[in-house]
Amino acid sequence: MHVRRFDDVSEFYQRVAPFLMAREAEHNLMLGLCSVLRQGNMYQHPPYLALVEDAGEVVAVSMRTPPYNLILSEMANTRPVQVIADDVYHLYGEELPGVNGPKAWSKTFAECWSSLSGKPHRLKMAQRIYRLEWVRPVSGVSGEMRRATETDRDLLLRWELAFMQDAFGEADPEQAERLVETALLADPAMRGRFLWWDSGQPVSLVGYTGPTPNGMRIGPVYTPPELRGRGYGSACTAAVSQWLLDQGRKFVFLYTDLSNPTSNHIYQNIGYKPVSDVDMYRFGE
């Protein structure tokens, strides 16, 4: 069992696609990231693209776009985790900020990382992946969906930062600006932002990104605190999800924070069904 790294994302994707596509929903983040990277690297540093082979068979995949967390695929057992941890530690030293991955494997990786680096780890967020194949329409909510444009740039930036603060407890202005820039300039088939308008003003934001061969990922979803409880986020999420299906997508994916039962309930009402649980760990104090 050994790690094989790739510099060329197209070569990497060709090798790992059959493995990832066997569980497309669980691997939607990796598949979407491959799609983005194949359009050109929008990140600051070269990505980490690696797989673990056992007797010539792919048994695990791992990716990273520095300076962000490592991402782990599904795998049959814990054996590949230690192999990945050793390789990532050799490459990055103690600078890795965290890991995202399937519940069992992310925990095992965090424990391996603490053993290698001497740094503590903590669970940052427990999440759940959902998949939608058909939309249950939301009724009784006033307003309509419109695609965000350049004139909405300042609002998008404010709401992107607010979403980061709400979801992760911290906001990165440079990352927020980069996400807004790419959402406004990108091919609409790859990513974008929609706003829900009511009474002449924007009241909610829903984005999409990360195309997979059959799907697309929703995110972020944000409604300002003073406008919550009116169904705007639900209506906009349902409308964007239906728009994506109308564009030919078979599935729409999203991640939820399991500590927020309200949002998990809302998405299920729209038609999203749970697929699997993933955890985010942070390293260091």
Spell out the per-residue pLDDT of the chain, length 285, in tens. 999 999 999 999 999 999 999 999 999 999 999 998 988 766 678 999 999 999 999 999 999 999 889 999 999 999 999 999 999 999 998 889 999 999 999 999 999 999 999 999 999 999 999 999 999 989 999 999 999 999 999 999 999 999 999 988 888 898 899 899 989 998 898 899 999 999 999 999 999 999 999 999 999 999 999 999 999 999 999 999 999 999 999 999 999 999 988 889 999 999 999 999 999 999 987
Q: Are 244 and 217 in contact (CB under 8 A)?
A: no
Phi then psi dihedrals of residue 261, to 5 deg: -65, -25
Rounded to whole angstroms, how far apart are CA atoms 101 and 30?
Answer: 10
Q: Where are the beta strands (DSSP E) in 104-229?
A: 121-132, 144-147, 192-198, 201-209, 215-222
How far is residue 274's CA from residue 159's CA, in Å, rounded to a whole number? 27
Hey, what domains does the chain have and what are their CATH numbers? Answer: 2-127 (3.40.630), 134-249 (3.40.630.30)
Q: Which residue has the tokens 């600006």?
A: 177
- Maximum Cα interatomic distance, the chain, rounded to a whole number of Å: 62
